Amino acid sequence: MLGGDPEAFAALVDRHKRGILNFIGASIRSPEDAQDLAQETFLRAYAHLGTYNPALGKFSTWLYHIARNVVRTALDRQTRRPQVQELGEEDSLEQRLPDERRESNPEAVTLRGEEDAAVRAALEHIPERMGAALRLRYYANMEYAEIATTMGLSLGNVKTLIHRGKLALAHHLRDREAGGTKVSP
């Protein structure tokens, strides 16, 4: 395909970096870690270009498959060794939180950030395949057929996973809002 041409690969990175970063960011809380994992995804893709077969699917599908594996590996590492970040003596929590949009209403930014964090946290409490399908659909903006190819499932299975995933996500968010600690199936 590319014959290992770094310039051609750089063009592919430019084309796909935003989608890959959004996909990874849906599972990884730290923006810095998400950036690192996106870079790792592209490094792995470049190192394994010889294994990509255009006859089996689109390059983007292959790339998202690599990203999914990179995220799984990172999450496995995190569950084995939780990361704790301490605040320095002169730091406050408010100083450490990212200021997403200074020009907008601070209350709206806070609410939007809390809602996004709640959805991302709820995604961790639904079955993995449902969560992966939802992340590909809503964070990576993939079409159903592309998700099916990426996940190695039929189109019907993807539609079912997304439908059931939305229900499970809504159920978990309702329980959370009501103050319950139930985890939906």
CATH code, 177: 1.10.10.10
Residue 67 has pLDDT above 90, yes or no: yes
- Distance, C-alpha 105 to centroid of its chain: 27
Residue 91 has pLDDT above 80, yes or no: no
24 and 38 Cβ atoms separated by less than 8 Å: yes
- What mean pLDDT do residues 37-53 have? 88
Residues 112 and 75 in one domain: no
Q: Where are the beta strands (DSSP E) in the chain?
A: none
Share of the chain above pLDDT 90, in %: 19
Domain range for residue 114?
A: 104-185
- Residue 56: which CATH number? 1.10.1740.10
Provide the domain count of the chain: 2
Q: Give me the amino acid identity at 71.
A: V
**At 75, is the secondary structure helix, strand, or coil?**
helix
Q: At what angle do helices 144-151 and 59-80 cross, to 10 degrees?
A: 60
Q: Provide the sign of the torsion angle of the four alpha carbons 16, 22, 26, 32, taken in this order.
A: positive
pLDDT of residue 38: 92
pLDDT of residue 12: 85
Q: Is the pTM of this model over 0.75?
A: no
pLDDT of residue 37: 93
Residue with tokens 């301490």: 86
Residue 80 has pLDDT above 80, yes or no: no
